Amino acid sequence: DAMVIQNPRYQVTQFGKPVTLSCSQTLNHNVMYWYQQKSSQAPKLLFHYYDKDFNNEADTPDNFQSRRPNTSFCFLDIRSPGLGDAAMYLCAAQGGGGYTEAFFGQGTRLTVV
Amino acid sequence: QKEVEQDPGPLSVPEGAIVSLNCTYSNSAFQYFMWYRQYSRKGPELLMYTYSSGNKEDGRFTAQVDKSSKYISLFIRDSQPSDSATYLCAMLPGYSSASKIIFGSGTRLSIRP
Protein backbone atom coordinates (compact mmCIF):
# COMPACT_ATOMS: atom_id res chain seq x y z
CA ASP A 1 0.00 0.00 0.00
CA ALA A 2 1.27 3.46 -0.86
CA MET A 3 2.58 5.30 2.19
CA VAL A 4 3.20 8.67 0.57
CA ILE A 5 0.63 9.73 -1.97
CA GLN A 6 0.99 12.62 -4.32
CA ASN A 7 -1.81 14.15 -6.34
CA PRO A 8 -2.12 14.64 -9.15
CA ARG A 9 0.49 12.48 -10.90
CA TYR A 10 0.48 14.81 -13.87
CA GLN A 11 -0.40 18.49 -13.82
CA VAL A 12 -0.53 20.89 -16.73
CA THR A 13 -0.81 24.57 -15.91
CA GLN A 14 -0.64 27.78 -17.83
CA PHE A 15 2.24 30.19 -17.52
CA GLY A 16 1.53 32.44 -14.54
CA LYS A 17 -1.51 30.51 -13.30
CA PRO A 18 -1.22 29.43 -9.64
CA VAL A 19 -1.06 25.72 -9.04
CA THR A 20 -1.12 23.56 -5.91
CA LEU A 21 0.40 20.11 -5.56
CA SER A 22 -0.63 17.90 -2.68
CA CYS A 23 0.99 15.18 -0.64
CA SER A 24 -0.39 12.93 2.05
CA GLN A 25 1.25 10.27 4.18
CA THR A 26 -0.14 7.37 6.17
CA LEU A 27 3.06 6.91 8.18
CA ASN A 28 2.39 9.59 10.81
CA HIS A 29 5.97 10.76 10.30
CA ASN A 30 7.27 14.03 11.73
CA VAL A 31 9.28 15.23 8.79
CA MET A 32 8.02 16.01 5.31
CA TYR A 33 10.07 17.23 2.36
CA TRP A 34 9.39 18.82 -1.00
CA TYR A 35 11.96 18.30 -3.73
CA GLN A 36 12.16 19.52 -7.30
CA GLN A 37 13.77 17.18 -9.81
CA LYS A 38 14.59 18.11 -13.37
CA SER A 39 15.54 15.61 -16.03
CA SER A 40 18.72 13.64 -15.25
CA GLN A 41 19.40 15.70 -12.14
CA ALA A 42 19.41 14.92 -8.44
CA PRO A 43 16.39 15.99 -6.40
CA LYS A 44 16.77 19.57 -5.18
CA LEU A 45 15.36 20.35 -1.75
CA LEU A 46 12.82 23.19 -1.67
CA PHE A 47 11.42 22.96 1.87
CA HIS A 48 11.13 20.63 4.76
CA TYR A 49 9.01 20.47 7.89
CA TYR A 50 10.02 19.00 11.21
CA ASP A 51 6.58 18.75 12.78
CA LYS A 52 5.36 22.33 12.35
CA ASP A 53 8.83 23.84 12.12
CA PHE A 54 9.23 25.08 8.57
CA ASN A 55 12.66 25.15 6.91
CA ASN A 56 13.08 27.02 3.69
CA GLU A 57 16.16 26.49 1.54
CA ALA A 58 18.00 29.74 0.87
CA ASP A 59 17.81 29.30 -2.89
CA THR A 60 14.15 28.34 -3.08
CA PRO A 61 12.41 31.01 -5.17
CA ASP A 62 9.78 33.18 -3.47
CA ASN A 63 7.38 31.91 -6.09
CA PHE A 64 7.23 28.63 -4.14
CA GLN A 65 5.28 28.34 -0.91
CA SER A 66 4.32 25.44 1.27
CA ARG A 67 1.66 24.58 3.85
CA ARG A 68 1.36 21.74 6.30
CA PRO A 69 -2.05 21.96 7.96
CA ASN A 70 -1.58 18.71 9.88
CA THR A 71 0.81 15.78 10.21
CA SER A 72 -0.62 13.90 7.26
CA PHE A 73 -0.85 16.56 4.59
CA CYS A 74 1.54 18.94 2.91
CA PHE A 75 0.99 21.27 -0.03
CA LEU A 76 3.27 22.99 -2.50
CA ASP A 77 1.95 26.21 -4.00
CA ILE A 78 3.54 27.76 -7.05
CA ARG A 79 2.16 31.25 -7.27
CA SER A 80 3.17 32.16 -10.81
CA PRO A 81 4.64 29.18 -12.63
CA GLY A 82 7.22 29.88 -15.26
CA LEU A 83 8.51 27.59 -17.98
CA GLY A 84 11.56 26.91 -15.83
CA ASP A 85 9.36 25.44 -13.11
CA ALA A 86 8.43 22.47 -15.27
CA ALA A 87 9.81 19.48 -13.38
CA MET A 88 8.97 16.46 -11.28
CA TYR A 89 7.99 17.46 -7.75
CA LEU A 90 8.67 14.87 -5.09
CA CYS A 91 7.30 14.65 -1.59
CA ALA A 92 8.87 12.51 1.11
CA ALA A 93 8.08 11.58 4.71
CA GLN A 94 10.57 10.63 7.36
CA GLY A 95 9.98 9.42 10.88
CA GLY A 96 11.41 9.91 14.32
CA GLY A 97 12.11 7.58 17.18
CA GLY A 98 15.14 6.16 15.42
CA TYR A 99 13.39 5.44 12.14
CA THR A 100 15.14 7.70 9.69
CA GLU A 101 14.30 6.12 6.36
CA ALA A 102 12.66 8.62 4.06
CA PHE A 103 9.90 7.38 1.80
CA PHE A 104 8.96 9.15 -1.38
CA GLY A 105 5.74 9.48 -3.27
CA GLN A 106 5.50 8.80 -6.98
CA GLY A 107 5.88 12.46 -7.78
CA THR A 108 3.85 15.03 -9.67
CA ARG A 109 5.10 15.89 -13.12
CA LEU A 110 4.35 19.54 -13.77
CA THR A 111 4.13 20.92 -17.28
CA VAL A 112 3.85 24.66 -17.87
CA VAL A 113 2.36 25.79 -21.17
CA GLN B 1 32.99 21.06 -3.61
CA LYS B 2 29.66 19.27 -3.38
CA GLU B 3 28.82 17.63 -0.07
CA VAL B 4 28.08 14.36 -1.84
CA GLU B 5 29.81 13.20 -5.02
CA GLN B 6 28.47 10.40 -7.18
CA ASP B 7 29.71 9.20 -10.56
CA PRO B 8 26.83 9.98 -12.97
CA GLY B 9 27.67 7.15 -15.34
CA PRO B 10 26.03 5.91 -17.43
CA LEU B 11 27.18 2.46 -16.38
CA SER B 12 26.38 -0.47 -18.65
CA VAL B 13 27.05 -4.08 -17.62
CA PRO B 14 25.92 -7.50 -18.87
CA GLU B 15 23.19 -9.41 -17.08
CA GLY B 16 24.52 -11.43 -14.17
CA ALA B 17 27.46 -9.12 -13.47
CA ILE B 18 28.25 -7.63 -10.08
CA VAL B 19 27.63 -3.91 -10.02
CA SER B 20 29.39 -1.48 -7.71
CA LEU B 21 27.95 1.99 -7.18
CA ASN B 22 29.80 4.51 -5.05
CA CYS B 23 29.50 7.87 -3.36
CA THR B 24 31.98 9.99 -1.46
CA TYR B 25 31.12 12.77 0.92
CA SER B 26 32.83 15.57 2.74
CA ASN B 27 30.64 16.16 5.83
CA SER B 28 31.87 13.94 8.66
CA ALA B 29 28.60 14.60 10.52
CA PHE B 30 26.64 12.30 8.19
CA GLN B 31 25.40 9.30 10.14
CA TYR B 32 22.53 7.87 8.13
CA PHE B 33 23.03 6.59 4.62
CA MET B 34 20.42 5.53 2.09
CA TRP B 35 20.32 4.18 -1.43
CA TYR B 36 17.37 4.82 -3.67
CA ARG B 37 16.44 3.35 -7.02
CA GLN B 38 14.54 5.56 -9.41
CA TYR B 39 12.92 4.35 -12.59
CA SER B 40 12.20 6.83 -15.33
CA ARG B 41 9.33 9.19 -14.46
CA LYS B 42 8.79 7.59 -11.05
CA GLY B 43 9.58 8.61 -7.50
CA PRO B 44 12.71 7.27 -5.75
CA GLU B 45 12.24 3.90 -4.07
CA LEU B 46 14.19 3.21 -0.89
CA LEU B 47 16.49 0.20 -1.33
CA MET B 48 18.86 0.25 1.60
CA TYR B 49 19.31 2.22 4.78
CA THR B 50 22.33 2.00 7.07
CA TYR B 51 23.44 3.78 10.18
CA SER B 52 27.13 4.59 10.69
CA SER B 53 29.87 2.28 9.39
CA GLY B 54 29.41 -1.33 8.39
CA ASN B 55 27.70 -3.60 5.93
CA LYS B 56 24.06 -4.44 5.37
CA GLU B 57 22.75 -7.12 3.05
CA ASP B 58 19.28 -7.54 1.61
CA GLY B 59 18.87 -10.19 -1.05
CA ARG B 60 21.07 -9.29 -4.00
CA PHE B 61 21.93 -5.88 -2.55
CA THR B 62 24.73 -5.03 -0.13
CA ALA B 63 25.37 -1.57 1.25
CA GLN B 64 28.73 -0.66 2.74
CA VAL B 65 29.65 2.42 4.71
CA ASP B 66 33.22 3.41 5.54
CA LYS B 67 33.03 6.56 7.63
CA SER B 68 36.79 6.81 8.05
CA SER B 69 37.15 7.17 4.27
CA LYS B 70 33.83 9.01 3.83
CA TYR B 71 32.84 6.45 1.22
CA ILE B 72 29.72 4.39 0.69
CA SER B 73 28.96 1.67 -1.81
CA LEU B 74 26.04 -0.34 -3.10
CA PHE B 75 26.74 -3.75 -4.62
CA ILE B 76 24.22 -5.56 -6.78
CA ARG B 77 24.86 -9.26 -7.34
CA ASP B 78 23.45 -11.27 -10.23
CA SER B 79 22.25 -8.09 -11.90
CA GLN B 80 19.01 -8.25 -13.86
CA PRO B 81 17.63 -6.08 -16.68
CA SER B 82 14.98 -4.93 -14.19
CA ASP B 83 17.79 -3.33 -12.16
CA SER B 84 18.26 -0.79 -14.96
CA ALA B 85 17.48 2.53 -13.31
CA THR B 86 19.12 5.57 -11.75
CA TYR B 87 20.58 4.94 -8.30
CA LEU B 88 20.78 7.80 -5.85
CA CYS B 89 22.79 7.83 -2.66
CA ALA B 90 21.47 10.02 0.14
CA MET B 91 22.78 11.05 3.54
CA LEU B 92 21.57 12.67 6.71
CA PRO B 93 23.69 14.13 9.52
CA GLY B 94 21.24 13.39 12.28
CA TYR B 95 17.69 13.89 13.28
CA SER B 96 16.70 17.41 14.22
CA SER B 97 14.76 20.29 12.80
CA ALA B 98 17.89 21.46 11.01
CA SER B 99 18.73 18.10 9.42
CA LYS B 100 17.97 17.48 5.82
CA ILE B 101 18.65 14.72 3.34
CA ILE B 102 21.46 15.42 0.89
CA PHE B 103 21.42 13.48 -2.39
CA GLY B 104 24.15 12.51 -4.78
CA SER B 105 23.56 13.32 -8.43
CA GLY B 106 22.62 9.72 -9.28
CA THR B 107 24.24 6.99 -11.38
CA ARG B 108 22.35 5.74 -14.40
CA LEU B 109 22.71 1.96 -14.65
CA SER B 110 21.85 -0.20 -17.63
CA ILE B 111 21.89 -4.02 -17.49
CA ARG B 112 22.29 -5.61 -20.93
CA PRO B 113 20.37 -8.90 -21.43
CB contact under 8 A, A103 and B108: no
The pLDDT, as a whole number, for residue A98 is: 52
Establish how many alpha carbons lie within 13 A of residue B7's alpha carbon, considering only the half-sphere containing its beta carbon.
11
Single-letter code of the amino acid located at A98: G
B110 burial level (CB within 10 Å; 0-12, 13-18, 19+): middle
What rounded mean pLDDT belongs to chain B? 91
Q: Which helix (H) or strand (E) holds A94?
A: strand A87-94
- The tens digit of pLDDT for each residue in A25-74 reads 998 888 999 999 998 888 999 999 988 889 899 999 999 999 999 999 99
Give the pLDDT mean for A9-36.
95
The pLDDT, as a whole number, for residue A40 is: 81
Give the pLDDT mean for A102-113.
94
A111 vs A11: CA distance, rounded Å: 6
Give the pLDDT mean for A8-21.
96
A vs B: CB pairs below 8 A: 59
Q: Are strands B107-112 and B11-14 parallel, antiparallel or unpaired?
A: parallel
B103: nearest CB among A43, A55, A88: A43
Q: Are strands A108-112 and A10-13 parallel, antiparallel or unpaired?
A: parallel
- Is the CB of A92 inside 8 Å of chain B's CB atoms? yes
Contact A60, A70 (CB under 8 A): no
B43: chain A residues, CB-CB within 8 Å: 4, 6, 90, 104-107
Residue A1: pLDDT over 90? no
- The tens digit of pLDDT for each residue in B13-60 reads 999 999 999 999 998 889 889 999 999 889 999 999 998 888 999 999
CB contact under 8 A, B43 and A105: yes
A48: chain B residues, CB-CB within 8 Å: 100
User: Using CA atoms in the order B49, A96, B32, B20, what is the torsion angle rounded to 10 degrees?
Assistant: 20
Residues of B with CB under 8 A from a CB of A: 32, 34, 36, 41-46, 49, 51, 88, 90, 92, 95-101, 103-106, 108
Q: Identify the closest residue of chain B to A52 by CA–CA distance.
A: B97
Nearest CA of chain B to the CA of A62: how many Å? 20
- The tens digit of pLDDT for each residue in A66-101 reads 999 999 999 999 999 999 999 999 999 988 655 578
CB contact under 8 A, A88 and B92: no
- The tens digit of pLDDT for each residue in B60-110 reads 999 999 999 999 999 999 999 999 999 999 998 876 656 788 899 999 999
